[in-house]
Chains A and B, each alone.
Chain A
Amino acid sequence: GAGVSQSPRYKVAKRGQDVALRCDPISGHVSLFWYQQALGQGPEFLTYFQNEAQLDKSGLPSDRFFAERPEGSVSTLKIQRTQQEDSAVYLCASSLTAFDTGELFFGEGSRLTVL
């Protein structure tokens, strides 16, 4: 597709379940970012990939959060043993090169609700 695609768009999980959220960036984009957006707040940075290398994971809130991008294209954000405070919209963004200063392209997000 032409843009960043995320799936599922909506996910409801019971507390303690594991979830996996997928991001398909724009084809050929080197950089990939994950953000978490709680209700009424601005997006907060989670982690950054340059191709398959995870260069920054400083925003991951706990060791229950894990992200991967094994072939440098599709990325998966995994949350283990979900808690209610994990309820949020998870946004993925990509950009063309590693050193560009321009536009990040965002997906529509995956809304996670933990009951």
Chain B
Amino acid sequence: AQSVAQPEDQVNVAEGNPLTVKCTYSVSGNPYLFWYVQYPNRGLQFLLKYITGDNLVKGSYGFEAEFNKSQTSFHLKKPSALVSDSALYFCAVKRGNTDKLIFGTGTRLQVFP
């Protein structure tokens, strides 16, 4: 069965510092990997995805993620955090384009001024 894990419930970082939000996955075959962001009492917004190709994927708002097949990871990164990046971040995975999306439990990112 496919699954995705976000090992940290919360990540705290100072504004201007780099941030990393971790995600690992378990899926047979080639994974489709996604990051979404959710602001309080709002729906989820798509940030970026990895389907194939370059392991480093760039997305919205300066975020990027690196696909690491050997470590089955897809960590979200940003070189310099902003207070406005504070939100709930979800990693998601599906097996090819025939399965439904499976979401992780979310990681709350808190960026302090």
* A joins B in a complex: no
* Residues in B lying within 8 Å of A, measured CB to CB: none
